[in-house]
Every structure is written in C-alpha cells, then in structure tokens.
Structure 1
Amino acid sequence: MLGSTIINQRQHVGLQKLSALAAVAHSTLGPCKKFKFIQDEATGESTLVSSCLRILDNLDLATCAVSQLVHETVRAHHKGFRTGSGSLLFYAGAWSRAALSCLHQGIPTSHVIAAMIEGMDLCVDVCKRSSISLDALCVSTQKQPTEIPSGSKVTKEKRQVKLSRHFCNTEPESISVPEPGLTDVAHLAEGLSHGCNDAMNLVIQASHVQSKDIQSSVFDVTKVTACVLPGFPEDHAHVCPGCVVLLNAEQASVAHHLKNQPMNVVFISGDLSHSYRHLGFSRPVGIQCVGNQSNMSDLSQEEYWMEKVLGLLLHLDVNLVLVSGLVNKTVIQLCSQHRILVVGKVTFSILKEMAIATGAVLVTYATQLTKHCVGKDIHISIWREFQNHNGMLLTALNINADGNTRFVTAVITSPVHGKLQTLEDRFWSCAYRVHHALKDKAVLPGAGVTELFCIHRLTEKADAENLRNGTCGSNPYLGIVLHLLAGSFMDYIAAVMANSTGVSRVKASTVVNQKLQDVNSISAELSQLVLDSHEDVSPSKVFDNLSVKQESWRKALDLVLLVLQTDAEIITGLDESKDVNRAGLMFL
C-alpha cells in the first residue's frame, strides 16, 4: 500500500506512514486531474478514479491504523463539503514531513505542536484579510462595459458610489447599472470551476432552472440531484426540472400505469426493510415475543411485517413510496403487484423538500404511517427509456411536485461506464463550491494567491522570531517551524502548477519563488482596503472557498498532531505520575 517508501521503524512510524499515504493525493491536485487505474489483485477487476477519496476507497487500509484514520478524516470532510479532500490529504503529508524534520532537529513535541497551531492561526487570519466579499464581485460584474446601440438613451437603475471606507455619495450617476441577475451565479461559478468546465456548466444550468420566474439568481443545492445514464456521449449531459430516477423493468410497468395522474405519496427516511433500525437504536436482548394469534406460527416476522406494511399502504390509498435508503426487493415486488410504485435511494434533501411541498410527514418506519403522513399533488412521467451497458432495459422516471418548488436533476452521461462516478463527483464538487461561496458570502483569491499570502506572512513572522532569538518567553523554535510550514505551502503551489502545466516540480518551485518576490504588489492589488473601495475584481479570476480551505487545513493539522502525539506516547511512554511528561501532549 505504501509502495517503495522506506519506513524507519525506530522513529515516528505514524508520521512516516501518513506522509507516504498522502503521496496519492499529488496527482489529484489542480484543474488537470489525472485518472488512475486501481486493480484488485485477488479478482483482477480494475477501477478508474481521479480523486483522493476514491483512491482511498479502493485501497486495502484494514491493516494500518494510520491509514484508517486518514480515510475516515477524508471521508468525513467529503461528506460535509464535497470538495477540498485532495488539499486536506496533501497538507497532512506535507505537515507530517515538517513535524518529522522538527523532531530530527531535536525540537520537543510540545514546541512543535504549539508552533504549528500558531502558524495555523496566522494562516486563518490571512484568509480573513484576503477574502473577497460577493458584494464586491457583484459590483465588479455590474461595471463591465456593455455595447450601447446607436440612438439609444442612457437611463439614470440609482446607485451609491463608495468614495472611501467611511464616506458615501448618495447622488445618482448618469450610468446604467443592470440589476443582479443570473450572471451573478454564472460569473461566480466561472471562477470556481477549477478546470471542470463541463460540470460547472451543469451547475449554471441548474441555477437558471431554479431562477425561472424569480427576479434574482438563486442556487439551492438541497433541491438538486444527479442521475447517471450510461451509454450516451458526455456532451449529452444536461439539466432538467424535477427529480429523475432510474427504474427496473418491474417498477417501470407500474410507472407506465400511474404516469401523468395525481397520486398519493409517502416519504420514508432510511431503509425500507424489516431489519432496518435508525442510528442509535439498540435492540433489547433476552426478550421473547409471545402472541396468542393462531396464524403467527405460519408467518415469519419479515412476512408479517410486509403484510402489515402493504395493508397500511392499501388502506391509505398510496400510489407512490419514496425512500431515502435501500428497499427490500421482496417489498418492491409485492407492492408492484398492487400497482404501488416504490423508489429507493432518493436524495434525503430532495425527499425532505418534496414532503414539505406535498404536505406529507416524513417517517422513519413504514409502520408509522397514518393518513396525516400522506402527501398529494405529486406527478410522475416517463422521461426516457434506454439500455444500459449490460443490455438491460432501464426507464428514467421524472418525479415532480406541485407548488413553489425548484427540484432540478443534473443528467450525467458517458459511454465509458468507469468514468460515470468521476463525472458525478466533479459535478457535486462544483455544485458545493458555489453553495459554500454563497453561504460564506465571500471567496478567496485562487490559483495559489492565498497560499502566497500565507507564505509571506509565515516567513515574516519566522524572520521576526529568529531576530528575537526566543526572548520574552516566546517559543524558541517558532521561527524554524514557521519556515517549514511556509515550505509546505510552496510545495502545494508547485504540485498544482506541475499538474496544470506539465513542468517539473523543480521548475515549478523556481516559479513560485519568483512569484514571492512580487507578493507585496499582489497584496496591494487584492487587499481588503482596495476591495472595500469597490475597485474592479475581474470575474474571470480563479477563486477558492473560504470555509472549505480553512476546514481542510484544520482537519489536516488535527490529523498530523494526533499522529504526532500518538507516536510520542509510543516512543517515550506515558507516566501518569509525572506531570512533566503530560504537559506537552494534546489530548483529543
């Protein structure tokens, strides 16, 4: 798993393993992500991947505690943010190497931890200072020149001209300023595409659909879902209103009978099966249920449960059951016989929004259903029928609810079945970049500019600390650690540049050093003062997410410090009777 990396068994094995495992993230950084084939030696099957999460998903990590910890950390970050996992893993490896370098120089663990935390605080402060508010971006897009036809008059749509940070002129100007519209999200999305232009175009289309009949542009990721259709060319990908799901032949026959007519619907979160229990449920042990019904012995518990569920659905006159989790195949077959369509794996956020739109009550178990849980005014239509790569006939069903809802489905296509997972991941990454930017109401300068600011800040602080030489009670090793952290940011920019342009890492590092010479001019261009003065911020610039970048850094550092502390306890031991051994350790 760790390749040919040599592990020194005597010194901080955990940090060495973390550094070695993080190397898989290098090819996934930047806009030009490279595909990798991962082959299972036991079965000979291979998987096509292009993200660090999918790489980790397909590796055998069961024998290494550090690898499992890395996988859990990356998966947790991906679940919450859907982007930034590659950066997280890269910095975990870079900072583990920085920590190893400190330890080899004899720097105590406590000083390494304190200095790294202080360095992270400096970088977070840099992000806050260099962040660009969306208001500044909107003003910039409004100020783009537009061609005025001859003979037209320039109307006076009034605005406030900001003269400085403290004074405003409220007099109207003789200038036409367009109202914020769909181009706001489009320009923002363009800067956040990070090379995934096709995927981001789907996000922009989804915004257009959601913004229909609405004066200002919107993008609500909770009302967006994705449907993967194999066999079609990639340029057939598009966005359509409603929730599109795939059905098998048995479900399709029921859908054909129910199409284009209003139905009663119920919504179930979790799996629809006899054995499903919600998270945190503990089944009591040592309890035996005894019934006095004579036919109980003839039916198993599962069969009794299915009969009860079917009876409830028939009694409530339900035509459609939407489930967020998996559905027992027997339940699908039994319900289909009674022309009740059951659809599983519906995105929970879509399920929740549809329940609100139809007036239904979301339940965890089918046995909880009552007449108050049934929703109305929902329609289904056959969207498309096609054959998959195995020759099986599949039906794509469009589900839509009446009322003020903006459900949108991104239809993702590819003739290469192995690429579908990657294309869907890229779509969600783009969608959540836009989502986080709108939620943060700010973005960061991208293309390595924010990292250059961090390098500049860390280097300044490190040089100042070296001049102080550890006086006034400061950390005597702070300067050394901060220089190493700055070097990690340089490695990141060089890796992204190498992947994007094809130049060597050495050449990329040289370019980064040249860019650092101009960092003061870059700061002047993108400083908060300039942005507050509403200077032009080109919408064609590359942007990064504020919250995603900060959280990926924080998780990477937490991971490194946890492994560092664990290594220290294994190597030196932990004597609870002596506080001096405990003082420098961080307990999580």
Structure 2
Amino acid sequence: MLGSAIINSQQHVGLQKLSALAGMSHSSLGPNKKYKFIHDDTSGESALVCSCFRIIQNLEPTCAVGQLVYETVHTQQKVHHTGSGCLLFLAGAWSRASLDCIHRGISITHIISAMSEGMDICMDVCRKFSVSIQDLAAMPPERRGAAPDGLGRQMSKTPSTEACASFCSLQERVKFDHKTLGISGLRKIKLSRHFCEAKSEIVSQVQQPHPPELSDVAHIAEALSHGCDKVMELAVKAIQAQSDNNQQESSYPMFDITKVVTCVLPGLPEDNASVVQGFVVLLSDEQASVAHHLKEQPLKVALINGDLTHTYRHLGFKRPADVQHVRHQLDVSSSSKEDEWVEKVMKLLLNLKVDLILITGHACESMIHHCYRHRILVVEKVNSSVLKTFANSTEAVTVTYVTQLSEHCIGSGVQAAIWRDLCSFERKSSTAVRIFTGRTTGLVTVILTSCIYGKLQVLEDQFWACAYRLHHALKDGAVLPGAGRTEMLCVHHLQKQAKCHREDTYSDQQTKTGMAANLYRDVILQLMAEGFIDYITTVMVNTGRFSKVKARTVVSHHLQNCNDHEDIAAKFSQLVLENEKEAVAVFSAIKPEENSALNIYDNLSVKQEAWRKALDLVFLVLQSDAEVITGVGLKTEENLMLL
C-alpha cells in the first residue's frame, strides 16, 4: 500500500496521508540520493529507483490523496524533469503545518490566506536574490557563491519599520483574478486543480541585454550539475553540437531541448557514453539486416503520427474496446480484414518506393514482417519532435494513417548507417543504427551506457534533469543561489515578517477580525518557515555528516547570527554554518576540503513551480478534508474557498 501510516480518524485524514506520502521523498533529496529496490510481489519484477518521481510511479496509489500526489508529481516531472522531491517534501511539511494550525483552532480561511501571503514573501525573495546567468558566467570561480553586487548594501539599509512598509506595498502590488473568500480583510488567492504550468512574473522581469556566449555555458552547467558532473557534460556536448549546426552568426547558445533524444545501450561501460548528431535507435537483428541493406543509400521516408495497424483510430475516434462482431456463416475463402489491409498498404508503399517508416506508436506483427520481406525499415516509438525535425529537413508530410500517404507526403535525403553492433556485449542481439539527413537539423542523440541494466533508467533520468536545468537556466536568464541559500533567505524573511505582524497587532487600530488575522499570520508564517528548515536539515542529514539534532542546531545558530548581522545578504550568501569547510560540502557530493558548494545554483522557474504546486496540493487536500468533515451549506460556504 502506498503511504501506509497510522491515521487518526478524529483529524484531517487527507492531510495525514499527504504527510505520510511525503515521507518517501526524504531519501531523494540532495546530491547523495539513495538507491532503492521496489519489488512487486504479484509479478515478481523489481525496479531500481533513486528519485521521488520513480518511487511514486512504481508504487500503486490506493487512495484519492495518493492519486492527487501522483498527478502533481507527474506534471512537475513532465514539464521540468526535476524538483519533484522538493515539491513533495514541502507539501508534507506544510500539510503538517496546516494540521498544527487546525489544532490551534485557526480557521481554514485564515490558513489559506496567510500561507498564500507567505508564498508571496518567498517569491519576492526569489526576485530580489536571483542572479543573471550573464553575471554568473562572468564571475570568477571563487566568487560564484557570493551575492550580486549591491544586494547586501541594499538590504542592510532597510530597517525593520521600512521592511514592514515595503512588505505592505508588495501586498498591494500583487493582483489575483479568481473567486474570493467571503470574509473582509483576507487576501484573495487562486488555485488550480490541474496544476498547469504558470508563467512566472518573476522570470519575466529578468532581462538579458547581453546573453552569455557558448564558452560560458560550461561554467553555468557546472553550477547546475548538483553532483551529476558526468551526465551534465553530456548536456553541454549536446548544446555544443547544436551550436555547431546553427547557421546563425550569433554566438548565443541555442539549446533546443525538443531536438535532443536519448538512446540507452546496455552492456557497455558508462565511460562509453557520448553525443551523436542525428537519430540513433536500437534495432533487433531482423531490423538491422534491413538497415545493412539500406546503408549508404538515399532513402525515401514516410512519417506516421500514430500506430501502423488496421485497428488504429486517432484520439476522438477510438472504437469501444472488447466489442466483437459475430457472423452466423463463416466465409473461409475470404481473407481477414487485417490481411486485406496489409496487402493494400504494402501495395501503396511499394508504389511510392518507401524505404523507411518512422512511427510514433506501434506496428502490427504482420505489417512488420511484410515490410522486412520487401526491405522496408520500420522504426517504432519515435518522438513527435523527431518526426517534426525529419519533416522539416526532408520535406515530408506527417500523416495519421498510412493510407493517407501520397507522392507529396514522402520525404527524401535520409540515410542510415550502422553506428555500433552490440551482439558481443549482451545476450540479446541488437544493433545501434544512426538515421540522419545531409541537411542541418540540430537533432542530437545522447548515448547512455551501463553494464548494469537496472541503472540505465536512473542515468536517463539524471541526464534529462541536467539537460532541463541548463535549458531552463538559459530560458529564464537567471538562477537562484543553491545549497540551501535561497531557502535560508526565505526562512529569514518569513520569520521577520511574522515578527512584524506580531508587533503591528498591538500598535495599529484594527477591527477584531483584522487583529485575529494578524495573530494567525504570525503563527502560520513561522510554521511555513519551519517547513523550509526541515527541508534544509534533511538534506544535511542525507550527506551523512550531520545528525538531525546537530543539523537543526547548526541552522538555528546560523539564523540567530544573521538576525544580529546587518549585512544580511552577504552573510547568507556564504552560508557559513558551523565550520566553513564542513558547510560548503553540505549540499554537494564532494569532500569538505574541495570547497565548491558555493558554486551550486538552482533553477528559478523550477523552484517557483515546485513551491507553488506544493502549496496548491496542500490547499486542495485541506479544503477537501474540510468539506468531508463539516459539509457544505449556506453557513459553512463562506469559510471555504471556492475552487
């Protein structure tokens, strides 16, 4: 059972389940991720995983909250390919914070309002302390961990009273378009059940008048590798290969992530990983024999966005499953519909002189067999982006059904070459074939190899995480200080604003509702900060050099020192915990004496979306619990948020 835990029926069950599910993410935080085996007792199969997303994917959700967690993490992984561990951990931490608030008698409307206010504070921290990638690339290695020039001086000149006024003006600038809560004085917020990717207002404010050059990409990638240096090197080689094919005179690095594909080759050592221009695919012996016949020849290609079967219908025209048509009289002399369809299609392909078929789906066995007999190579499970690239370079037209093919749909100028024969490296015979065109396409294939078959999925996930970090950094034009520095800044500002609210409660002339809301904000902002502290200390514990108690003590001591220090930004930028050499290795998979944790940075948009999705997830579960417990009526509607 996914997320099994002892649940107290007297409390919000959904929040408890969310907290229990989030416990799975603890081992996947930080650079020292722990490998886990997931065994299926029914089928006897096992999977090797080391990421939060793969853990949830290989486990079966058995409750509504589990399904919601899976969909949220899946969306984060699909869009960003990283940040799912941070998302789930903070969702668990803030669900516990919500439970704590409920035990204190704080209403749901006040919890949602104050937590949304806390998220605005964190987004403002991201905006103020983001570093442009141009500045990052220009920094010498010894200064890449420092805050941008002027930040420390700017923050040190802001006394507490001015900070409160600045925060109030920030609240006035934030606008929301949504259904509102029915209580005056509370903030308006917006949630999404679908967790769609939101355009970041912070990212849009970052301007890059002078984009970094290609030579600077390696320095940016190093700061975003997060312990996966070898895999990140492949991402850098991929962007360099695309830039070599870029006909523009500008030196600005163009990283088109849609034109990057991966090919995993079992049996070879990991040092054999490489980047190859074109599309490399692993083929069976029968497919390889056709490729041997077609090598070094100009090929005609057909592109099909779908399955190569007689029963295939594109989305919206699917026939009902498990429906059979029964006849009273069986016509033995007539051939089946599939045979008739195969014969019709083969006649069409031979008339068009097609040599290569690329399809995004599957092909039926009889169709594949007939194609091989006529030396037509069929490649299945091709990404849609690869089809689009070949369509642009060969002037082919992508069709949904093979029967739609005509003379003007067929592309030309494609070649196939045997890249490597792997028969001697694994028991199952296979051959890697490279498919390419003579034109510049920018399509590159990253070859991932390992002697351990179960590790190939892990390596592929690590590569895509690194590639998307580099892609989002270049797209955003800015990054955030890593190694826990951004989270520490958020903790400091949340605690500072909580103190500001606490002081304003007794100094301002407000209504009773306003005073209560201020009191609640004080508690809730502090609990949100505790969630970030739990995140930082968990990563420290995962390094193996800290106990939970020691990590908590070190972070608390550091926060206390920063509260007494005027130059907050400069103090936080160094992240001096207990011992500098020990601290710089906290968030990096290196030895303390190597002293490079200050070079770690995080993606701006990825971190923003992970935090927002985590809070949205908590809000959905929180209100769903409330609706189940109290019901929805005329009296209770005003205390619930309308989604």
Note whether the superposition's TM-score is higher than 0.5: yes
1:412 pairs with one of 438, 442, 448: 448
**Structure 1 counterpart of 2:555, which letter?**
V
In the alignment, residue 5 of structure 2 is paired with which amino acid? T
- 1:581 is aligned to 636
**Counterpart position of 1:64:** 63
- The CA distance in 2 between the partners of 1:354 and 1:334, in whole Å, is 24
Greater Cα shift, 327-336 or 450-459: 327-336
Aligned to 1:381, what secondary structure does the other structure show? strand
Distance 1:36 1:143 in 2: 36
**Structure 1: unaligned runs, 5 residues or longer:** 145-161, 163-177, 290-294, 528-537
Structure 1: distance between partners of 2:526 and 2:343: 68
What are the ranges of 5 or more consecutive residues in structure 2 without an aligned counterpart? 144-149, 151-209, 326-330, 574-595
Between the aligned partners of 2:89 and 2:126, the Cα distance in structure 1 is 19
Letter in 2 for 1:497: M
Give yes or no for contact 1:495–1:505 (8 Å, CA) kept in 2.
Answer: yes
Q: Does 1:403 align with 2:439?
A: yes
Alignment of 1:174-213 (within 5 A): 181-212=213-244
Do the aligned residues in 2 keep the contact of 1:2 with 1:17 (CA within 8 Å)? no
Mapped partners of 1:11, 1:179: distance in 2: 53
The 5 Å alignment of 1:96-245 reads 96-140=95-139, 181-212=213-244, 216=251, 217-245=253-281
Instruction: Give yes or no for contact 2:358–2:379 (8 Å, CA) kept in 1.
Output: yes
Cα root mean square deviation, aligned: 2.8
Per the TM alignment, residue 206 of structure 1 is displaced from its structure 2 partner at its CA by 1.3
Cα shift at 1:365: 2.1
Is 1:497 the counterpart of 2:540? The answer is yes
Pair 483,373 (structure 1): closer, same or farther in 2 beyond 3 Å: same
Q: 1:566 aligns with which of 602, 621, 624?
A: 624
Whether contact under 8 Å (1:264, 1:378) holds in the other structure is yes
Question: Quick one: which amino acid aligns to residue 44 of structure 1?
Answer: G
Query: Which structure 2 residues correspond to residues 228-377 of structure 1 after superposition, within 5 A?
Result: 228-281=264-317, 283=319, 298-377=334-413
Q: 8 Å contact 1:40–1:46 — kept in the other structure?
A: yes
Match of 1:85 in 2: 84
Measure how far apart 1:493 and its partner are. 0.9
Moved more, 552-561 or 217-226: 217-226
Q: 1:483 maps to what in 2?
A: 526
Task: Tell me if 1:518 matches 2:562.
Answer: yes
Note the C-alpha offset of 1:138: 3.5
Would you say the 8 A contact 1:141–1:539 is kept in 2?
Answer: no
In 1, Cα distance between equivalents of 2:447 and 2:612:
34
| Partner-residue secondary structure (3-state), 2:531 | helix
Counterpart of 1:439 in structure 2: which amino acid? K
What does the per-residue CA deviation read over 1:244-285, in whole Å, with 9 as the maximum and x for residues that have no partner? 101111111111100111111121223332333333335499
Letter in 1 for 2:638: A
Q: Identity of aligned pairs, percent?
A: 54
Contact preservation (8 Å) 1:191, 1:539: no
CA contact (8 A) 2:141 2:599 kept: no
Cα distance in 2 for partners of 1:508, 1:485 equals 18
Whether the 8 Å contact between 2:481 and 2:601 is mirrored in structure 1 is: yes
SS of residue matched to 1:11: coil
Q: Partner amino acid for 1:192?
A: L
Letter in 2 for 1:555: K
The verdict on how the C-alpha distance between 1:91 and 1:179 changes in structure 2, with shifts beyond 3 A counting, is: closer
Match of 1:436 among 472, 475, 494: 472
Distance 1:343 1:460, change over 3 A: same
Q: Which moves more between the two structures, 449-458 or 379-388?
A: 379-388
> SS of the counterpart of 2:639?
coil
Displacement of 1:307 in angstroms is 2.7
Quote the Cα distance in structure 2 between the aligned partners of 1:583 and 1:282.
44
Give the letter for the 1:252 counterpart.
A
Alpha-carbon distance, 1:586 to partner = 2.5
C-alpha separation in 2, matches of 1:515 and 1:438: 32
More displaced 10-residue stretch of structure 1: 45-54 or 134-143? 134-143
Deviation digits for residues 470-514 of structure 1 (CA, Å, limit 9, x no counterpart): 863362311111100000011111111211344212222222223
Contact kept? 1:187, 1:539, Cα under 8 Å: no
Deviation readout 1:223-253 (Å, 9 max, x if unpaired): 1111101111112211122111011111111
Structure-1 separation of matches of 2:539 and 2:142: 32
Equivalent position of 1:23 in the other structure: 23
Q: Secondary structure at the match of 1:583?
A: helix
1-side partners of 2:373 and 2:271: how far apart? 39
Deviation at 1:296, TM superposition (A): 12
How far is 1:88 from its partner? 0.9
Question: Does structure 1 residue 381 correspond to structure 2 residue 417?
Answer: yes
Question: Aligned letter for 1:255?
Answer: A
Contact 1:14-1:66 at 8 Å conserved across structures = yes
Change (3 A) 1:299 1:542: same
Given candidates 465, 471, 482, the residue that maps to 2:501 is 465
Q: CA contact under 8 A between 1:306 and 1:331: conserved in structure 2?
A: yes
Q: C-alpha separation between the residues in 1 aligned to 2:313 and 2:562?
A: 59
- C-alpha separation in 1, matches of 2:89 and 2:287: 45
Once residues 3 and 141 of structure 2 are traced to their aligned partners in structure 1, the CA distance between those partners, rounded to angstroms, is 53
How far apart, in 2, do the equivalents of 1:194 and 1:557 lie?
25
Shift of 1:354: 1.7
Deviation at 1:582, TM superposition (A): 1.1
2:158 matched to which residue of 1?
A: none
Distance in 2 (CA, whole Å) between partners of 1:437 and 1:275 is: 44
1:342 Cα deviation from its structure 2 partner: 0.6
1:543 paired with 2:565, answer: no
Which amino acid in 2 is paired with 1:239? V
Per-residue deviation, residues 100-135 of structure 1 (Å, max 9, x unmatched): 111111111111111111111111121111111122
How many residues are aligned here?
537
Q: Which residue of 2 aligns with 1:94?
A: 93
- Distance across 2 between alignment mates of 1:232 and 1:425: 18
* 1:198-223 deviation digits (Å, cap 9, x = unpaired): 11011112122222265623322111
| Cα 1:564/1:397, change in 2 over 3 Å | same
Secondary structure of the residue aligned to 2:74 is: helix
Tell me how far apart the structure 1 counterparts of residues 553 and 597 of structure 2 sit (CA, whole Å): 28
Contact 1:230 1:388 in 2 (8 A): no
Contact 1:259/1:379 (8 A) holds in 2 = yes
Q: Is the 8 A contact 1:261 1:379 kept in 2?
A: yes
Partner SS, residue 264 of structure 1: strand
Moved more, 400-409 or 103-112: 400-409
After TM superposition, the structure 1 stretch with the greater mean CA deviation from structure 2, 202-211 or 564-573, is 202-211
- Judging changes above 3 Å, is the alpha-carbon distance between structure 1 residues 550 and 378 closer, same or farther for their aligned structure 2 residues? same
3-state DSSP class of the match of 1:298?
Answer: coil
Aligned equivalents of 1:79 and 1:261: distance in 2? 38
1:506 matched to 2:587? no
Distance 1:305 1:560 in 2: 52
Q: Structure 1 506/4 Cα, relative in aligned 2: closer, same or farther at 3 Å?
A: farther
- 1:499 partner letter: N
